[in-house]
Amino acid sequence: MKKIALVTGSSRGIGKAIALRLALDGHRVVINYYNKGANEESDRNRQEAQEVLTQMKSLGGDGIIIGADVSDSQAAQSLIDKTVEEYGQLDFLINNAGINQDQLLIRISDNDWNRIIQTDLNAAFYCCRAAVKHMIRKRFGRIINMSSIVGITGNAGQVHYSAAKAGVLGLTYSIAREYGNRGINANAVAPGYIQTDMTAKLNQEQVSKILSGVAVGRMGTPEDIAGVVSFLVSPQADYITGQVIRVDGGMAAM
């Protein structure tokens, strides 16, 4: 039976890979892109989302596009409501939308801190709160929150990002405890260094230093993350909840 999946921030990178994988698995997918009104960035994001939908349909999948800034509480609520209005239900919520900024603690402004927390933690909270209200009625739901390996280990130069991603873990654990008896599972995925727009900014020296601490000797791909998400929303993972799955190429083993 086809399920309805919403993937936030799925116009590119990890979110795109997750959206395509879930479509290949036979689910209908809502592709969400960052939309903050009529501007060049929103237009570019919408075009990228449309390309994802076109690719999805070429693979035999199906879905729709909904633009929203999920770091805004009302916009996140509207995104969830529009999904349910379109399909009558929401089965899988994948909170993938996020941003990063490398900055030393003493140079992080209040605005820098608030922007990262708002996008990387509050947005997940807003979407979870809105989605669970619908999932409770069906007594079924799968929530996957995208954290990060630095949410577990911390990282110099990423105090605000690490704090936000650690908060995502607490959010996930608590939802799992609160709604497990309502048929709702919540898990987190903690990627290591993945080939995305975020890591594309690294120079070769930085990449070499990173890979020296990765057991498999390479960066991960968005598809590596998508495969884990595919498993976590599948029936094979029905007894898995309140967990964080590290997808870090063995960084923890080094």
Q: How many CB atoms lie within 10 A of CB 3?
A: 19
Domain boundaries, the chain: 4-253
Three-state DSSP class for 148? coil
Assigned architecture for domain 4-253: 3-Layer(aba) Sandwich (3.40)
Per-residue pLDDT, 135: 99
What is the spatial order of strands in the sheet that 28-33 belongs to?
A: 62-67, 28-33, 4-7, 92-95, 141-146, 184-191, 244-247
Structure tokens at 179: 């709604």
Digit-by-digit pLDDT tens for the chain (254 residues) are 789 999 999 999 999 999 999 999 999 999 999 998 778 888 999 999 999 999 999 999 999 999 999 999 999 999 999 999 999 999 999 999 999 999 999 999 999 999 999 999 999 999 999 999 999 999 999 999 999 999 999 999 999 999 999 999 999 999 999 999 999 999 999 999 999 887 888 889 988 998 999 999 999 999 999 999 999 999 999 999 999 999 999 997 76
Per-residue pLDDT, 200: 83
Per-residue pLDDT, 82: 98
Would you name the residues annotated as active-site residues? 161
| Strands 62-67 vs 28-33: parallel, antiparallel or unpaired | parallel
Structure tokens at 162: 């690490």
Using left for φ > 0, alpha for ψ between -120 and 50, and beta otherwise, residue 187 falls in beta
